[in-house]
Chain A
Amino acid sequence: MNPVKAGPLVLVLLLSVLVAPAYAYLKLGVRVGTRTVSLQWNAFPIRYFITNRGAPGVDSAQFESVITRAFSTWNAVETSETSSQLVGFTAASPTSGDGMSVLGFASRPDLERVLAATNFIIDVTTGEIVESDIFFNTAFSWSVSPAGETGRHDLESIALHEIGHLLGLGHSAIGETEVVPGGRRVLAAEAAMFPIAFSPGSIADRTLKADDIAGLTDIYPNPATRRTRGSISGRVTKNGAGVLGAHVVAFNTRTSALVGGFTLSDDGSFTIAGLEAGPHVLRVEPLDDAEVDSFLDASMNVDLNFRVRFHDRVVVVPQGGGTRGVELRVVPK
């Protein structure tokens, strides 16, 4: 069983962090009145602190180096605009509510399947992220070795995932798993934001994939990106009715990029944004490669009873625009 690269676990002000509808894979969102707005930072650079405590096998200097690299990986995405700044070390714990965004180790043996988690303080009227903290669970063994270490989780890979949450991204479903006693094992994934970690020792998640980049680009596009990237939107239906919680993957046949999205409303509508222009093929599948609540609110009545299928039309993404009205019809299993 692989532990999870935890999602946004703890939320302050008793807010429910929702998923924002109609965007590339999942963005975190919050309900404001009748609409859901995306969580995002409005001021850059994101200023963060690092705890001055290490963990077995990782001293604070190594921790700083890894976190800086992980932030840099996100900030280097050419199609988006983000930046970050390490303010310094702190003795504060990586928990919310102190006015500082802090990343550090914490001992949480009670969270026996959670490698790390990201917490937020947000402005409930705008969705602006005011503060975000990340803790890495010392109940697990960590590695900062460039080549990885057998039996230890790669800190940089997990940091990359959690910083994705810090930036406002939810989980991606672009991965395949198999059920094993006590949980799931990841066979393969094509997103740093996939919720289940690779086996200890793997460093495969140190790089961002197309799905991660599309998500970040969707939230923080740069001016050029608005003119060059596009979107696909439509509905997933079964027997004429909308399907909630279907996972739609767009595959760019030019670049081999895989970018996913979800149907997030009862009418089965979806939008996948941040896509490179060009022809795409679409594949729709039920959300059955991880626990549903890894992606969506547990109260949502997600439909898992349909067969995987391909769309029979090539869908073309224009530059700076969108292709709308795509209907993906699925049939029950």
Chain B
Amino acid sequence: MARGCQLLILTLCLTTVAPQVVSAQVYIGGGFPRGGSVELGGGGAWVQGFEIESPTAQLSRATGAQRFDLFSTDADVQRFTGAHLRAGVYLTSSISVEGGVRYATPVMSIRLSGDVESAEETVATQTLSHYVFDGSVLLHFNGAAFAGGRGVPFVSVGGGQVRELHEGRELVETGRAVHGTAGLKYWLGTGRRRVGLRAEIGVVSRTGAADSDDSGRVLPMALGGLTFLF
């Protein structure tokens, strides 16, 4: 029993010590990105859908007080997926700044119902072209790196402009977007130039653009893709 305990303690010591040794070896060979390192990446994006203002079409009555409903609307922008591209530069080994663009084609749908003359309920749709041009600051937690420094958690905050083109691409509307995400980069190599996987989840707060509600709304968001370090 006492011998068993000794073996267990020895094993725990080894497992505690061993990663430190490996980590030290990786850092010497390439380690974390250094100030001035450039990172390029891209991949997919997902953003939760949201309801938008849904007024009722109304007429005036003789009294002027109570309104007469002609039909009702129920509008939303459905959840959408798209693509993103990013370019960044490390200021230090743990802080980088980057700029990027996201693109998607969300569908705006408006359910038309409750018609006073019994028009059949209809869902009218249009496809938007959605762009976000933004900038971010990333803080990498190198101290929490794992798998020999390959896996590095990070958080990102930033903001930018939303541009949405309605169908036909003749009407563009702009708004603002601020995001905050937490994510993980997993480098597939250890050299100074390397490729990795990047995933992050968070929220985006958007105001304006095709959404006429000026109070803004906070939406879940997820991004994932490949990233390259130079």
Contacts and interface: CB of A to CB of B under 8 A. Distances in A.
A257 B122 CA distance: 20
Contacts of A199: 62
A204 interface: yes
Contacts of A102: none
Given A279-B108, A281-B110, A316-B167, A311 B124 contact: yes
A7 B110 CA distance: 36
A308 B73 contact: no
A187 interface: yes
B170 A202 contact: no
B125 A312 contact: yes
Interface stretch (B37-45, B51-59, B87-95): B51-59
A202 B68 contact: no
A321 interface: yes
A309 interface: yes
Interface in A184-214: 186-190, 198-199, 201-204, 209
B126 A279 contact: yes
Contacts of B108: 279, 314
B70 interface: yes
B112 A318 contact: no
B143 interface: no
Interface stretch (B26-34, B98-106, B113-121, B186-194): B113-121
A318 B170 contact: yes
A300 B182 CA distance: 67
A283 B124 contact: no
Interface stretch (A126-134, A236-244, A248-256): A248-256
Contacts of A187: 59, 61, 68
B115 A308 contact: yes
Given A188-B61, A190-B59, A253-B53, A314 B68 contact: no
B144 interface: no
A138 interface: no
A203 B60 CA distance: 11
B124 A204 contact: no
Contacts of A283: 57, 70-71, 112, 115, 119
A174 B67 CA distance: 14
B124 A312 contact: yes
B73 to A, nearest CB: 6
A285 interface: yes
B126 A314 contact: yes
A324 B126 CA distance: 15
Contact of B171 (A188, A203, A209, A278): A278
A316 B171 contact: yes
Interface in B160-202: 166-168, 170-171
Given A188-B68, A313-B126, A308 B119 contact: yes
A149 interface: no
A23 B208 CA distance: 31
Contacts of B122: 309-312
A321 B60 contact: no
B7 interface: no
B63 interface: yes
Contact of A317 (B55, B70, B171): B171
Contacts of B125: 312-314
B8 interface: no
Interface in A283-333: 283, 285, 307-319, 321, 323
Contacts of A281: 73, 110, 112, 124
A198 B68 CA distance: 14
Nearest to B57: A251
B118 A308 contact: yes
Contacts of A323: 168, 170
A277 interface: yes
Contacts of A189: 59-60
A308 B117 contact: yes
B75 interface: yes
A55 interface: no
Contacts of A209: 60
A81 interface: no
B64 interface: yes
Interface string B62-83: 1110011011010100000000
A176 interface: yes
B11 interface: no
B196 to A, nearest CB: 41
A305 to B, nearest CB: 14
Interface string B106-146: 00101010011111101111100000000000000000000
Nearest first, the 7 closest Cβ-Cβ pairs linking A and B are: A188-B68, A318-B170, A188-B59, A314-B126, A316-B166, A198-B62, A310-B122
Given A256-B57, A279-B110, A314-B108, 17 more contacts: A187-B59, A189-B59, A202-B64, A251-B73, A277-B171, A279-B126, A281-B124, A283-B115, A307-B119, A307-B120, A308-B119, A309-B120, A310-B119, A312-B124, A313-B124, A316-B126, A316-B166
Interface of B: 53-64, 67-68, 70-71, 73, 75, 108, 110, 112, 115-120, 122-126, 166-168, 170-171, 210, 212
